[in-house]
A and B are shown apart, each in its own frame.
Chain A
Amino acid sequence: MKKLDELALITRCVLADDRQAFGQLVEAYQSQVRRFFLNLTSGDAALSDDLAQETFIKAYINLRSFKGIAAFSTWLYRIGYNEFYSHSRRASEEHLTQDTPVEAIMGANDNTEALDAGLTVREAMSRLSDTERAAVTLFYIEDKPLKQVARIMSLPEGTVKSHLHRAKARMSAFLKNN
């Protein structure tokens, strides 16, 4: 979608509460946003759709705060990343209260013998930390430049570089062993 068309749709949403215009924006970005969450949640389709829905609802509510300086997709990813971050924090708190043994979580995906190449890559991704996985997804899969990744994740560029470097090393080691 062209930036001008995008801005026209956003203006219609903000000034006239035009939901059809917002629907067009959702149509344009839903696949990207859902793919982003699928990679972050290691393929949990139901959770990805829920997070994507929440992201778009928050975008709709806060559309007036969109200044148009950054690209709309960057702004959307930023909301999405915050949504995922809040979700994983809540989930880890629940995990801690349930007192799940760490070995049970770590060993849940250890059946690597039956995995094919695609599953091995996904497995390698799932072994990264949430922050590393988000950086890898945004940089390699969503093709966002380092500066935008840093903006989306609210981190300095150097920190994002470190996460990417560490993630690459961990993924390479895992893929070599499998």
Chain B
Amino acid sequence: MKTEEDIKLEALLKDEGYHADENPWFTSRLLNRLPARERSVRWVWWAICAVAAVICAACWWWLIDDHDYTVLTVRDMVDYAIMSAVTLVLLWQSISVTFSGE
């Protein structure tokens, strides 16, 4: 809790203290100085995506192969919805890993 004296001092320091003007070169200079990070995280992420893709393909194969096309149950619809969602997420992750970064 700030006292009245604190509030006065705060106003004085904010008015009369140092202010940093926007420096347009600061960010670009900094980005050029960033050290190269090891790519291990990216490769781990790629490996996870690849394993997930194989599992996903196997699940699709099992789902389609196992399905009785004469009857469509609620469970089938749920299974297809879940598999579609998982596939879309996986695709999105793979695309973002591929195109993000430098």
Binding site for B on A (CB under 8 A): 12, 14-19, 22-23, 26-27, 30-32, 34-35, 38-39, 43, 48-49, 52-53, 56-57, 60-61, 117-118, 120-122, 125, 136, 140-141, 168, 171
Contact = CB atoms under 8 A, between A and B. Distances in A.
- Nearest 9 A/B pairs, CB to CB: A34-B20, A38-B18, A121-B16, A16-B100, A35-B20, A118-B16, A140-B10, A17-B101, A16-B101
13 contacts: A16-B100, A19-B102, A23-B30, A23-B31, A34-B26, A53-B29, A57-B30, A57-B34, A61-B35, A117-B16, A118-B15, A141-B17, A171-B9
Contacts of A18: 100-101
Contacts of B35: 57, 60-61
Contacts of A136: 13
Interface of B: 5-6, 9-10, 12-20, 22-23, 26-27, 29-31, 33-35, 37, 39, 41-42, 45, 96-97, 100-102
A33 to B, nearest CB: 8
